[in-house]
Chains A and B, each alone.
Chain A
Amino acid sequence: MSDIAERVKKIVIEHLGVEEAKVTETASFIDDLGADSLDTVELVMAFEEEFGIEIPDDAAEKILTVKDAIDFIQSKSA
């Protein structure tokens, strides 16, 4: 697993207070991990801070799963 994936999962686990096993790449923040809309905004803010990137609103709207987040951040840091 890449370093980015590790860091993304760590943020998700910490922020949503969910078990590590539940945070699979296909897990949906809202449907599988119990996030509400405010949680998703906070997650995006946390990703921005952790990776020193800016995630525009239209991109943030498409980040629905753990994999979406990893892919977006990888594309930004590549």
Chain B
Amino acid sequence: MFDLTGKTALVTGASGGIGAAIATALHAKGATVALHGTKVEALEKLAASLGDRAKVVPANLSDPAAVEQLAKEAEAALGQVDILVNNAGLTRDTLILRMKDEDWQTVIDVNLTAAFRLSRALVKGMMKRRFGRIIGITSVVGVTGNPGQVNYAASKAGLIGFSKALAQEVASRNITVNCVAPGMIQTAMTDVLTDAQKEAMSSRIPAGRLGSADDIAAGVVYLASDEAAYVTGQTLHINGGMAMI
């Protein structure tokens, strides 16, 4: 089950905790992976630890030309892209009264617009080959909202709507488009929190703990697999029960 031998995958934001776990899991299932990010050193290190079947394709996703170039480079490095994981994302948290246009725009550009541009560039080949998997890493806050994150929540909700629309456009070509929505996940972002903060967070999660990056990666492997061929336009919530939606 869930064998990805012979498949190729581009994972954006692979230098982050969740992105690295996703790339590692896809690779472990046999896929050849292209690791995108901005921290080249971290990507090289990850590629080296994976060994064969791992390429590094850095790019600045807020630059439209760089995104187009990334699609071309990934296709050149992998031969073709069967699985696209739009995982790259950033936050610029602040209350709306304090939020600058730039805070809004940067988050929308990287989290949502880059996913659109990459999908547009890579879906062409998927349509020709009659196979593809496009997986967006969204967030529980894209569905529930969260104060201080109007930009981030909008970008993540946008990714869900985008995926549903695209799923309908390309379903007849055996291309599925889905999202994975992590809840509170233990990463570098949550490591800086105090124990008291972490405890307060865990108390709101029925499972009683933060999730791990591997919990998310497992969902991505499933959606990328042949076994998930009949699943499209869906959002898989992986959040320990903190939101049941």
Contacts and interface: CB of A to CB of B under 8 A. Distances in A.
A38 B124 contact: no
B53 interface: no
Contacts of B128: 42
> Dominant SS at the A interface?
helix
B172 A36 contact: yes
A45 B172 contact: no
Nearest to A39: B172
Interface string A25-44: 00000000000101000100
Nearest to B127: A42
A36 B127 CA distance: 14
Interface residues of B, number: 7
A49 to B, nearest CB: 10
Interface in B164-187: 169-170, 172-173
B127 to A, nearest CB: 6
Interface string B94-132: 000000000000000000000000000000100110000
Contacts of B170: 38
Interface in B131-189: 169-170, 172-173
Interface string A45-59: 100000000000000
A50 B173 CA distance: 21
B124 A45 contact: yes
B210 to A, nearest CB: 42
A38 B166 CA distance: 12
Contacts of A45: 124
Contacts of A38: 127, 169-170, 172-173
A45 B172 CA distance: 17
A45 B124 CA distance: 9
A45 B173 CA distance: 15
Nearest to B170: A38
A17 to B, nearest CB: 12
Contacts of A42: 127-128
B18 to A, nearest CB: 32
Interface of A: 36, 38, 42, 45
9 contacts: A36-B172, A38-B127, A38-B169, A38-B170, A38-B172, A38-B173, A42-B127, A42-B128, A45-B124
Interface of B: 124, 127-128, 169-170, 172-173
